[in-house]
């Protein structure tokens, strides 16, 4: 069997065009502020893409580039300024931050109503108890891809490899909220293959190219590769695409799978923030 490729790029394009249409009918423009500290090349590329996406759909974007040496206090002041700015509905601090700045302090300063990344403890808490709030973009993108491709979730065995607060954990939560039976694996899991082989849906968010090989997946499983490792200009996922795509029924590749969806979900969350703020 050769897997159907889950085309995140095409799905994200469709979502962007729906957002563009929606924004064109608004009197006041939604606004997204992105703060980048320092010049990490991967961060620069992500921030540029966010700016491009906003432009495409008609969202006002304010990109704030701060020097690497900025103090935590100065960064916090900037965030407070954006919290008060009526033209801004979403605020995102591009991670990682330099070591001398505490990421938690920065995230905690964002007004939860403008926290379009969904990383603020208020949003994370609301999400955990199933209350309305922002859902982090990558996990939201993973579930949207499964739904766009009509991949059943309810009653399925879902395995998530990776348990970070911003990727693995919320993906597992969303799968559970959609009635899958979820297993979470991590670096201390013994005999990873024993778990992955049982997965009808396997989501891998680790950052180790080639971690998942064909013999570790179930015949006809749906595989979502979230991992991204950069080598020069190349992006590599965690799943050995060539072998796994011959065995799975669906596969979201890297690049072109979850990555574009993460960006599209950020636009969606910005619209959600706009609607909450402007329309109460």
- The reply to whether 205 sits near ligand NDP by the rule CB under 6 A is yes
Q: Quote the least distance from Cβ 26 to ligand NDP, whole Å.
A: 27
Active site residue 218: no
Residue 93 or 206 having the CB closest to ligand NDP: 206
- Please list every residue from 130 through 189 that binds ligand NDP, using CB under 6 A: 138, 161-164, 166-168, 185-189
How many residues in the shown chain lie near ligand NDP by CB under 6 A? 25
Q: Toward ligand NDP, which CB reaches closer, 258 or 273?
A: 258
Closest CA relative to residue 139, chosen from 154, 157, 122, 124: 124
Give dist(CA 95, CA 35) in Å, integer: 9
Rounded CA-CA distance 175/147 in Å is 11
- At 273 the three-state DSSP class reads helix
Smaller CB distance to ligand NDP: residue 46 or 113?
Answer: 46
Burial of 192 (0-12, 13-18, 19+ CB in 10 A): middle
What is the distance between the alpha carbons of residues 29 and 43, in angstroms, rounded to a whole number? 25
Q: How far is the CB of 192 from ligand NDP (least distance, A)?
A: 6
**Distance, CA of 64 to CA of 44 (rounded, Å):** 11
Query: Smallest distance, Å, CB 181 to ligand NDP?
Result: 19
Annotated active-site residue 94? The verdict is yes
In the complex, the smallest distance separating the C-beta of residue 50 from ligand NDP, rounded to whole angstroms, is 12
Annotated active-site residue 50? The verdict is: yes
| Catalytic residue ranges | 50, 94, 117
């Amino acid at each position: 069997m050769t897997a159907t490729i889950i085309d995140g790029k095409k799905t994200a394009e469709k979502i962007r065009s729906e957002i563009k249409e929606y924004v064109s009918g608004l009197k006041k423009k939604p606004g997204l502020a992105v703060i980048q500290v320092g010049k990490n090349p991967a961060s620069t590329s992500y921030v540029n893409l966010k700016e491009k996406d906003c432009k495409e759909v008609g969202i006002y974007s304010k990109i704030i580039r701060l020097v690497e040496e900025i103090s935590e206090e100065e960064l916090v002041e900037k965030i407070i300024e954006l919290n008060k700015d009526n033209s801004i509905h979403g605020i995102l601090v591009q991670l990682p931050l330099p070591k001398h700045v505490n990421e938690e302090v920065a995230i905690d300063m964002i007004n939860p109503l403008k926290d379009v990344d969904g990383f603020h403890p208020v949003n994370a808490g609301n999400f955990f108890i199933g209350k309305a709030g922002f859902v982090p973009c990558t996990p939201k993108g993973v579930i949207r891809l499964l739904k766009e491709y009509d991949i059943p979730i309810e009653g399925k065995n879902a395995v998530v490899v990776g348990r970070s607060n911003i990727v693995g954990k919320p993906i597992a939560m969303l799968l559970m909220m959609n009635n899958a039976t979820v297993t979470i694996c991590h670096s201390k899991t013994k005999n990873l293959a024993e778990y992955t082989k049982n997965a009808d849906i396997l989501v891998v968010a680790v950052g180790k190219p080639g971690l998942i090989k064909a013999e570790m997946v179930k015949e006809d499983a749906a595989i979502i590769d979230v991992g991204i490792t950069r080598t020069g200009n190349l992006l590599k996922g965690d799943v050995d695409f060539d072998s796994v795509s011959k065995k799975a029924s669906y596969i979201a590749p890297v690049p072109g799978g979850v990555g574009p969806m993460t960006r599209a979900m950020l636009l969606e969350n910005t619209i959600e923030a706009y609607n909450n703020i402007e329309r109460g």
